[in-house]
Structure 1
Amino acid sequence: MLFFALNRSDALGRAVAAAGGFCVAKHEEREFDGGEHKARPLTCVHGKDVWVLHTLNGEPGASANDKLCRLLFFLAACRENGAASVTAIAPYLAYSRKDRQTKPGDPVTTRYVAALFEAVQTDCVVTIDVHNLAAFQNAFRCRTLHLDTGRMFAAEILARRGEAPIAVVSPDGGGIKRAELLRETLVQMSEGPVDFGFMEKRRSGGAVSGSLFAGDVSGREVWIVDDMIVGGGTMLRAALACRAHGAARVHLLAAHPLFSPDAAALLDDPAIDSITVTDTAPCPEAAAARLGGRLHRLSVAPMLAEAILQLHHPCPNGLPAAANADSVGGF
């Protein structure tokens, strides 16, 4: 097998390779006037199973579109040069939020991205904590593997828990299933009760509204979980609601730290005790500096390395041990 990590994902790529005990294969990326670029493997890929890691978040100097094109072109180049198989590893998968029509004429961009991967003959797409698992699984016709952070986050919660009882909260109705799965995982791992709650959220014309809160969080250590943090407004609304309902402490959990320029200032609020994210995307330095010790980062490298090794050498039941049985598509 050959494992590549494109340039803006090289730090995570090195961590995955170290966790899996394999090497990062050499490649070249070049920029051209006018904004065009090319990337090519510098190791012979003929007859090899090729794995290419590139997380698809937008950041200064590289939009989500740019990163997606780089990944697609590199996968296609490997296939054209005789790779036996090509697997895309996109820890954050761009456009996974736009998975249905909410207004007349809306694009269903998740499906279009899936078609692009299929067009370059991608054998498998691996990702972590997509926005809507069912939409992700239905969009792709090639093999997919969805990994979730449930057990990682549950272990973090139990390692940091205090004396107060625990509650898991979804910041909106769309994340109820995600939060409930985390609550169930916590119950299994702790063998104790875990409470649950969720916040109402309605969006119209770019404005967010809704003030209803369901669940008993009084005197509890609350963990609000979502798939990503972008602007931070949704999480802050939920944190303030939990405080208003008597929460003892409030912590935020999200796999993807897609912080906008103003997110850290918004999240630097006394209602929030800590923010835990993973390294599926680089955390902006300004945000890390502003949030200081309240920002905790967990690595998905061991999870991705295990998935790669299990897919390359399947275990008897055919499912990578890193994957939650409720979160595996394409098997």
Structure 2
Amino acid sequence: MEDVMTADSAKQRMKIFALNSNRPLAEKIAREAGVTLGKATVKHFSDGEIQVNIDESIRGDEVYVIQSISEPVNDMLLELLIMVDALRRASASQINVVIPYYGYSRQDRKARSREPITAKLIADLLEMDKITRVVSIDLHAAQIQGFFDVPVDHLVAAPLLASYFTDHQITDNLVVVSPDHAGVSRARTMAELLGTPIAIIDNRNVESSESLDEIPTEIIGEVEGKTCIVVDDMIDTGTRITISATALKNAGATKVYGCATHAIFSKNAPEILQNSQLEKVVVTDSIRIDESKRFAKLVQMSVGPLVGNAIKMIHNNEPLEPLFRSSIKD
């Protein structure tokens, strides 16, 4: 009887807080985890200074903070760091940061002379803040997990994204396409889930990824007469996935879909994507998409159940392996 009471009281000590990056997603995560969002106030002063107040006791609690490092990137990062400091000073027993989109993840190595490795710097800042754990989704490069000396739970959205195509019977004569050589492993994962072959757009000119006028002509694999799914981890300006769709259409593909976990949608990306040859653009809500950035071809799926289930499993000391095989949806 005593063991049961101890287990029940331990479950009540889990608390989830949301900062400003994506409160709608945080609410879905908390609902799936079976708790209500904790009370906290985040203020931005006129000079840009950030103040965080935790409006309830968290002494001895296992705390999860939901915050994507998305636009405005630096503000969202500082909010997270300041919140962690506040939690630590308020005697939280564990401080788990849930970062659905890990900003600065593209700067994960020295590609040129005198470049920083900013993804590592962010990891160092979080560890200096004394976090307990990181939970993230589809990091730009898997090796970013190794930048931390605390546990990192790296979730994948591929089963969720794949479920869109199976649910809509988009499974016949299908091929999954990587927009370049760097994304082959990502395409292979999606192809294994859908049971399809893969193809690769042989895009060797990095500069062409920023220009709609330079369309790659070489494609490794058979795409003629096929329905293609171009898979990437993020869509920023929309240019790369748009020229990929054009290249596939030029090579004889019948239909092309775009698919990515993180919808950054900077500059005029929504307009570019809407006017592209893509049938649909399937993304998740790891980044909040403002109404001004929504467009007719956009399909958004929620990672709330995925992250909420992950938090429950972590809290109960259960393995996360089932989440890598299932497509958890609302």
Instruction: Give the alignment's TM-score, normalised by structure 1.
Output: 0.89
Q: How many Å separate the matches in 2 of 1:157 and 1:205?
A: 29
Matched, 1:172 2:180: yes
Higher deviation after alignment, 93-102 or 16-25: 16-25
Q: Distance in 2 between matches of 1:237 and 1:180?
A: 21
From 56, 60, 64, the counterpart of 1:51:
64
**Would the aligned equivalents of 1:276 and 1:296 in 2 still touch at CA under 8 Å?**
yes
Q: Which moved more, 1:207-216 or 1:150-159?
A: 207-216
Aligned pairs (5 A) from 1:10-89: 10-58=23-71, 63-89=72-98
Residues 154-198 of structure 1 show CA distances to partners (whole Å, capped at 9, x for unaligned) of: 2111112347411100111111110101111222xxxxxx12111
Give the distance between the partners of 2:43 and 2:269, measured in 1 at CA.
Answer: 32
Residues 30-51 of structure 1: CA distance to partner in whole angstroms, max 9, x if unpaired? 2223110111211111111010
Distance in 2 (CA, whole Å) between partners of 1:46 and 1:310 is: 22
Report the number of matched residues.
309
* Amino acid in structure 2 at the alignment position of 1:167: V
- Say if 2:126 is the partner of 1:117: yes
> Quick one: percent identity of the two aligned structures?
28
Give the equivalent residue in structure 1 for 2:246. Answer: 240
- 1:91-106 matches, cutoff 5 A: 91-106=100-115
SS across alignment from 1:322: helix
The aligned residue for residue 295 of structure 1 is 298
Match of 2:314 among 292, 311, 314: 311
SS at match of 1:276: strand
**Pairwise CA distance, 1:286:** 2.5
Unpaired runs of 5+ residues, structure 1, are: 188-193, 326-331
Please give the root-mean-square deviation of Cα atoms over the aligned residues, in Å. 1.8
Distance 2:65 2:171 in 1: 44
* Contact 2:161 2:283 survives alignment (8 Å): no
CA-CA distance at 1:199 after TM superposition: 1.1
Cα 1:163–1:93 shift into 2, 3 Å: closer
Match of 1:8, SS? coil
Contact in 2 for aligned 1:3/1:51 (Cα 8 Å): yes
**Offset at 1:82?**
0.5
- Residue number in structure 2 paired with 1:278: 284
* TM-score, scaled relative to structure 2: 0.89
**CA deviation string 1:49-104 (max 9, x = no partner):** 0100011111xxxx201100100110111011111000000100111110011110
- The answer as to whether partners of 1:307 and 1:321 remain within 8 angstroms in 2 is no
Could you give the per-residue CA deviations for residues 78-137 of structure 1, whole angstroms, max 9, x where no partner exists?
Answer: 011111000000100111110011110100011100001100100101111111112x12
Match of 2:191 among 160, 183, 188: 183
